[in-house]
Amino acid sequence: MTHTISDEAIQELLDERSITRVLREYCRAIDRMDFELLASVYWPDATDDHGSFVGTAPEFIAWLRTLLPRHDWTEHHLTNVLIDLDGDSAKVESYLLAFHGGPAHDARWNFAAGCRYVDRFERRDGEWKIADRVTVIEWTRQIAAQDPLRDGKFGAVLNRRDRTDPAYFGAI
């Protein structure tokens, strides 16, 4: 039996792949403090509601420029992603585990969170980006501030919070 895949089904797969790529780039941008990459995942007129911040995407990025340096590191892990396409718009729900490490003397910056990004994506001129985002916090937990890897005891390659990180191939 021969199965054929319709052009519509192929386009749906390509759209879902493009949207998922944007979500992954968002995580890299946050964890590497790559604000240029971060700006590229939002439409300029996008909005973001992160609970403690509500405003436009450019305002969100400006807010993060002051917030993220308080952490020594962050990790954002996407898990379940559900995408409902509707022409040039998509409703996207992404589950996320986020980890934040900061100075040992300040427990506020050492926590893990379970969240969901509830997004509306738009395709403009063939490109998918975030048009509106609401971050839904499911839970948070304090995590230990001491990290033996960061104490230099294991000689591990540590993350860098800029474009010198190994994720930017050629950086090492």
Domains identified in the chain, total number: 1
* Cα torsion through 44, 31, 120, 88, rounded to 10: 70
**Predicted confidence band of residue 27 (pLDDT cuts 50, 70, 90):** very high
Does residue 49 lie within any of the structural domains? yes
DSSP class of 148: T
Please name the residues in contact with 134: beta carbons below 8 A apart, sequence gap of 6 or more.
49, 117, 118, 119
Whether the pLDDT of residue 55 is over 80: the answer is yes
pLDDT digits (tens, 9 = 90+) for 118-132: 999 999 999 999 999
User: Does 137 fall in a domain?
Assistant: yes
Q: Is 134 inside any structural domain?
A: yes
Above 60 in pLDDT, residue 146?
yes
Domain holding 50, by residue range, is: 7-142
pLDDT tens digits, one per residue of 71-110: 989 999 999 999 999 999 999 999 999 999 988 777 788 8
Q: Which residue has the higher pLDDT, 78 or 160?
A: 78
pLDDT of 23 strictly over 90? yes
The predicted structure's pLDDT at residue 83: 98
Query: Residue 67 falls within a domain, yes or no?
Result: yes
Q: 73-86 and 42-49 as β-strands: parallel, antiparallel, unpaired?
A: unpaired
The more confidently predicted of residues 141 and 159 is: 141
Per-residue pLDDT band at 11 (split at 50, 70, 90): very high
In a domain, 2, yes or no: no
45: its two tokens? 């007129």
162 occurs within a structural domain = no
pTM: 0.88
Q: Is 62 helix (H, G, I), strand (E, B) or coil?
A: helix
- 27 in any annotated domain: yes
CATH (domain of 128): 3.10.450.50
Task: Flag whether 90 is in a domain.
Answer: yes
User: Which carries the bigger pLDDT value, residue 159 or residue 68?
Assistant: 68
